Amino acid sequence: MPEISWEDFEKVDVRVGRVLEAEPFPEARKPAIKLLLDFGPEVGEKRTSAQLTERYEPETLVGRQVVAVVNFPPKRIAGFESEVLVLGVPDEEGSVVLLVPESEAPAGGRVY
C-alpha cells in the first residue's frame, strides 16, 4: 500500500453529518438510497446516494449521524447530483456497514 504524507491526509475533509432525509433511489444502477445530510453551518446541507439497501431502510437512517468526505467534486448518478461520499466498511457478505461516531458529535465536526 502506498504511503501518503500528513499533508495529503489533511486535504481529505471528513466530517460528521446528520441524515435529514432518506429515500429509495430505484433509478440507480445498483440499489441505493438518496440522502440529505446536515454538516452544520460551515459546510451546510449536502446530498448523496449510498449503496446501503442490504443493511438499512431509508426510514431507519433519518436522524442518524454518519461520517462522510465532503470535498469531492459533485458526481452525477442516474440524473442525481451526489455531493459527498458517506463512508462505510463491507461486512463478510459485502454489505456496507456505516462508519458512525461512537457518541453524539457536533454536526460538521471534522475527523482528524
Tell me what pLDDT residue 104 has.
96
Tell me what pLDDT residue 85 has.
97
pTM: 0.93
Cα separation values, 105 from 15, 35, 39, 64, 67, Å:
10, 19, 11, 11, 10
Q: List the domain boundaries for the chain.
A: 6-98
Hunting for cell 499533508 — which residue is that?
Answer: 7
Tell me what pLDDT residue 40 has.
97
Cβ neighbours of 71 (radius 10 Å): 13
Cβ atoms 111, 70 nearer than 8 A:
no
Tell me what pLDDT residue 112 has.
84
CATH classification number, 6-98, choose in 3.90.1150.170, 1.10.287.180, 2.40.50.140, 1.10.10.10: 2.40.50.140
Cβ neighbours of 6 (radius 10 Å): 6
Tell me what pLDDT residue 101 has.
96
Per-residue pLDDT in tens (0 to 9) along the chain, 112 residues: 889 999 999 999 999 999 999 999 999 999 999 999 999 999 999 999 999 999 999 999 999 999 999 999 999 998 999 999 999 999 999 999 999 999 999 999 999 8
